[in-house]
Amino acid sequence: MPVTCVDFCKALSDETRQKILEMLQQREMCVSDIVESFNVSQPTVSHHLNILKNVGLVESRKQGKLVFYSINQENVDECCGMIVTKFSCKEL
């Protein structure tokens, strides 16, 4: 199911999730890498990653016991485009 503008905005409404996406723009990371950058627990980071994953803004891959996350740049770009299109000024 495609992401709606509302889902996208809800996912980005949290500053921690915004920071996680910024970090994932730099490189793929596992949860423990992300936890080191925040003053929150691993379950809290996993919760934020789950929200981002559910709306398709991040992808994951498992390697052994670790799960690595990366940004889904195509979906991020598409969602940003939806917002711009929805709220851009239209000529009358």
- CATH number for 48: 1.10.10.10
Domain assignment of residue 22, yes or no:
yes
* Mean predicted confidence (pLDDT) in 33-58: 93
Distance CA 90, CA 61 (A): 41
Domain count within the chain: 1
Residue 34 has pLDDT above 90, yes or no: yes
* Mean predicted confidence (pLDDT) in 21-40: 93
Residue 92 has pLDDT above 80, yes or no: no
Which pLDDT score, from 0 to 100, does residue 90 have? 66
Distance CA 5, CA 75 (A): 12
pTM of the model: 0.85
Q: Which domain holds residue 61?
A: 5-87
Which pLDDT score, from 0 to 100, does residue 76 have? 87
Distance CA 25, CA 20 (A): 9
Residue 1 has pLDDT above 90, yes or no: no
Distance CA 80, CA 92 (A): 24
Mean pLDDT for the chain?
89
Residue 50 has pLDDT above 80, yes or no: yes
Distance CA 7, CA 28 (A): 23
